[in-house]
Structures are given as C-alpha cells and as structure tokens.
Amino acid sequence: MGNILYEQRELTGILTLNRPEALNALNNAIMRELSEALDKIASSDIRCLIITGAGKKAFIAGADVAEMQNYSPEDAAASSRKDSAVLEKLENLPMPVIAAVNGYALGGGCELALACDLRIAAENARFGLPEASLGIFPGLGGVQRLMRLIGITKAKELLFAARQFDAQEALKLGLVNAVVPAEKLMEASLETAGAISKNAPLAVRVIKMMANRSIGLSLKEAVGLEQEYFAICFSSADQKEAMAAFMEKRKPAPFCGR
Ligand code: CO8
C-alpha cells in the first residue's frame, strides 16, 4: 500500500498521496491503491475526508508523464477510462471530500482536486492544466469539471493557454473555498471538516448526492429530486431528535447518522 497513507482523527479521515519523490504524480500503482482505499472509505463511518499530498512542495504534479509517454491510443483510452472511474468514485463518495492543496496541483492532480467537494489551498499552491503543452488535454474529466466550476470562458482560457495560476487567482475564480498559510492548511481543513461533521450525517450526504445528481437536470427535474430526498430526511432519527431538541430548548443528542 505505501503510496497511500490513511489516518482518522475523530470523525475525519485524512488520505495522503505518498509519492513525494515524484511530487505525488499519479502512476498506475498509486491510482490502484487510491481506488482500493476509496472503497474502504466509502463504507466507513467518517463524516468527512481530507485528501492531501505528502511533502511540502506538491499536492499532485499530474499524471505520471514517464508512464504515459509511450502510450498507444488504445493504452490512453484504457487508462483514461480506468482513472476517470477512480475520480468518479472519489466524487461520489457518500461523505464530503476536501482537497487540502499543499503545493502544485497540476494536470491530473488539478483534475483530482476538481473532483473533490471543497478545495482549501495553501498560499504556495499552484494550479494548472498544462496538458495542451504536452500534446494532450485533461483526460480525466477535467475540462468538464473546470467549466462547471468556473464557467466556460475562463476554463477555455486556462486550458488553451495551459497557464499555471496561484492560490489567490484560484480563489478569485471560485476554484477554491479558502487560501490559508501553508502551515495552517491541515488545521483549517480539519476545522472545515469538523464544522461539517457536527451536522446530521444523513442530511449532509443527501445534500451532496442531490448536488452531484442534479447537474445536467432541468430545474423542474432537480427540484423534483429534492422533494424525494426531503421526504427521506423525515424518516431519520436525527431529524426527529434535532427538531424535538429545538422545540424543547435543549441541546440535541449527538447525531447517530440514521
Ligand atoms: N510525472 C512524472 N514525474 C514527475 C511529474 C509528473 N507529472 N512531476 C514531477 N515529476 C518528478 C520529476 O521528474 C522529478 O523526478 P527526478 O527527481 O527523478 O528527476 C521530481 O518529480 C521532482 O520534480 P522537478 O525536479 O521537476 O521539480 P521542480 O521543482 O523543478 O518542478 C514542477 C516542479 C514545475 C511541478 C515540475 O515537476 C513539472 O512541471 N512537473 C510536471 C507537471 C505536468 O506537466 N503535469 C501534467 C502531466 S499530464 C497529466 O496530468 C494528464 C492527466 C490526464 C491523464 C489521463 C489518463 C492517462
């Protein structure tokens, strides 16, 4: 397993991509281990996951160029399908995922961050999708996710120019939720995870599922989906307890996730 480190702090899982000698570049081994780790996390009872990169320099400096260099079109198709499925698995984890971006988030690394729910960047983070400068384009859904997050015009500019940009620009673009000093990155990420974990897990999961599933639906279809999920919340013990506590002017019992 060595390419992926995992620890749990209270209700938050912390997954670290651990290949610092190659700036955590995504090779086949790391993607396989990530996929296996995500399967376990999906069925765990953590309320939030933080993903970060080992070392001080990089979140993830992209897909492994050495491995990709001699791909045939068939290899590229297979690899893109396989690795895209891992990012979809990440995107659809039941609990929210925060990318704690601690340096370079380039190419596939930026794509992985885009598949997370929230992004918190260290001041020294640098983002970019340099694929066009390598004769390819982001092959893991990055074009689509970037457009949805920051709009088509800005996304096209960044993709065509393959330009790197810093954390402050990422904040202005709405690509990251916050920028913090590098030494405070994990603390800030844990704080955000803690704020999420205080709320009813089922409600948080439903919000995530609705947000993810409604993209591409018409407003009418999306609101219809919300009505279904809204009803589901009222079958939960947490809703009963939280509302009873409010009416009785007392603190609710800790949420049980049912
Ligand atoms: N792949 C493989 N090795 C890498 C990568 C990478 N993406 N990035 C860094 N490394 C390695 C370097 O080769 C170097 O190894 P070594 O010490 O053995 O020479 C080590 O990490 C340290 O890197 P540098 O010496 O280059 O460190 P610098 O501080 O000088 O530079 C940079 C840091 C600017 C981040 C530089 O390393 C860089 O430009 N890296 C490549 C960035 C890049 O182009 N990323 C995009 C790759 S393409 C991609 O991600 C496509 C995604 C779609 C995939 C679809 C599925 C197939």
- Amino acid at the residue 95: M
pLDDT score for 1: 58
22: left (phi over 0), alpha (psi -120 to 50) or beta: alpha
74-93 average pLDDT score: 98
pLDDT score for 186: 98
Pocket test for ligand 1, best of 23, 69, 75, 83 (most atoms within 8 A of CB): 23
253 C-alpha to ligand 1 centroid (Å): 49
pLDDT score for 172: 98
pLDDT score for 241: 95
Complete domains list, the chain, with CATH: 4-197 (3.90.226.10), 201-247 (1.10.12.10)
pLDDT score for 244: 97
Q: Tens of pLDDT along 28-69?
A: 999 999 999 999 999 999 999 999 999 999 999 999 999 999
Ligand 1 cavity residues, CB under 6 Å: 22-23, 25, 61-66, 68, 76, 79-80, 83, 104, 106-108, 130-131, 134, 138-140
pTM score of the predicted model: 0.97
87-108 average pLDDT score: 98
24 C-alpha to ligand 1 centroid (Å): 9
Task: Single out the residue of 252, 192, 205, 194 nearest to residue 232, CA to CA.
Answer: 205
> Which of 142-146's residues contact partners 24+ apart within 8 Å by CB, and which partners?
142/108, 142/110, 142/111, 142/114, 145/111, 145/114, 145/115, 146/114
Active site residues: 111, 131
| CA pair distance 97, 196, nearest whole angstrom | 10
